[in-house]
Structures are given as structure tokens and as C-alpha cells.
Amino acid sequence: MQKLSSTLTNMILSLTIISVFMAVALGFVYEKTKDPIAKGQQAKITNAIAEVLPAFDNDPTKEMTQVEGEDLVVYKATKGGQWVGSAVKTYSPKGFAGKIVLMVGFLPDGTINNISVVEQKETPGLGTKMKEPKFKDQFKNKNPESYKITVKKDGGDVDAITASTISSRAFCDAVNRAFEAFKKGGAQ
């Protein structure tokens, strides 16, 4: 077989064929993986709801409301028809490495039941400590009406993560957004 000469036309033709082939391959992989990825994301949300709320017997994902004008979602949970709390999927764009996403569980009186970190890209060993009980458990059984959810450095009641004040502030920002969403759409 004779080698093609290295002309501009041959190079453009070769690159076009390679690009078309790769685009088709990428489209195929995307189609094959989009459903499993979506199911994984939904499972992550469902698990976070179960982690932050007391026992319930309904499907909160079917009783969800989007807070108007915000990227916040409120999931209402009931047991025996009685409202036991609401989980709020919240976020803060103020993390050290960008957006953090939390699920905050509120009891009917507005008290925080628990918090789950759904997504974050903070610095390993520093900002990632927001997932640890030592940090996030200080919010448990606290009502944002009386507990100032800001770091102590800013006049609040929250002990910041050592060497990670920005991540701590972002966490507090997300919790405060969740409480506002709870008051708007999560409280019955």
C-alpha cells in the first residue's frame, strides 16, 4: 500500500474523518451512560433525604417544591399522614473551590435535624472536613431563629474548620439559604 503524500488536502481529510468518528463515539458513550448517571444522582438525593430527616413513610421526592427564583428544592416528609419535617436541597457558590451542595433536614418547628453534604470540591484535608461530624453536628438540634449560623469570626455561633474559614462560611451560607427556603415553602 502506498503512503499518502502529506498535502494540506490529505491532512484536512484525515482530521475530518477522525473528528467525525470521535464525535460519533462520544455521542454513543453519552447515550449509554446518561441514564445510569441520572439514576445515581437521584439515589444520592434520596439517601441524603433519608439521612437528614426522622423516619417517614411517604416518598418526599414526589412531594417536592422548587423555591421560586432559586435553585433550592424542598422535600416534605410525612409519617402516617403527619408532617415530620422537610429536607431542603441547598447550595452556596462561595466555597473555596466553587459550589457546595447540602441537604438540610428541618423538623416542623424549624430546628435542624441533620445535614448531609451532597456535593463539594473543597481542598482535601481542609474544606472536606465539612463532612465530618465534628463540624456538621454543631448544627444539630439548633434553630436558626435563635442560633446565629455564621462563623464566630463573623460574630456567629459556629466554630469554623481550622484553616478553612471560607469553606465554613460557604457551609453556613448554604444552611441559611435552606432555612429561608424552609420558611417560604417547607413549613406547613
Q: So where are the chain's domains? A: 49-186
pLDDT at 28 over 80: yes
Query: Which pLDDT does position 6 carry in this prediction?
Result: 83
Q: What is the rounded CA–CA span in Å between residue 8 and residue 13?
A: 9
Q: What digits encode the pLDDT tens for the residues 148-182?
A: 999 999 999 999 998 999 999 999 999 999 999 99
pLDDT tier for residue 63 given thresholds of 50, 70 and 90: confident
At 71 the pLDDT is 83
Phi, psi at residue 126, to the nearest 5°? -120, -85
User: CA–CA separation, 187 vs 2, rounded Å?
Assistant: 76
Q: Which pLDDT tens digit goes with each residue over 132-155?
A: 999 999 999 999 999 999 999 999
Residue 65 pLDDT more than 60?
A: yes
Among 180, 178, 158, which residue's Cα sits nearest to residue 169? 158
For a pLDDT cut of 70, what percent of the chain falls above it? Answer: 97
Q: Do 63 and 86 meet the contact criterion of CB atoms below 8 Å apart?
A: no
User: What does the pLDDT read at residue 12?
Assistant: 93
Q: Yes or no: say if 173 and 92 are a contact pair by the CB < 8 Å rule.
A: yes
Residue 73 bridge partners (DSSP): 66, 89
- The predicted model gives 68-90 an average pLDDT of 91
In eight-state DSSP terms, residue 71 is S
Neighbours of 51 (CB within 10 A): 15
Is the pLDDT at 99 greater than 90? The verdict is: yes
Mean pLDDT (the chain) is: 92
Helix (H) or strand (E) holding 20: helix 8-52
pTM above 0.85, yes or no: no
> Tell me, what DSSP letter sits at residue 158?
B
Evaluate if residue 2 carries a pLDDT over 80.
no
pLDDT reported for residue 159: 95
Q: Look at residue 188 in the predicted model and tell me its pLDDT.
A: 53
Residues in a beta bridge with 88: 74, 104
Bridge-partner residues for 15, per DSSP? none
Are 72 and 182 in contact by the 8 Å Cβ rule? The answer is no
For CA atoms 120, 131, 61, 44, give the dihedral sign: positive
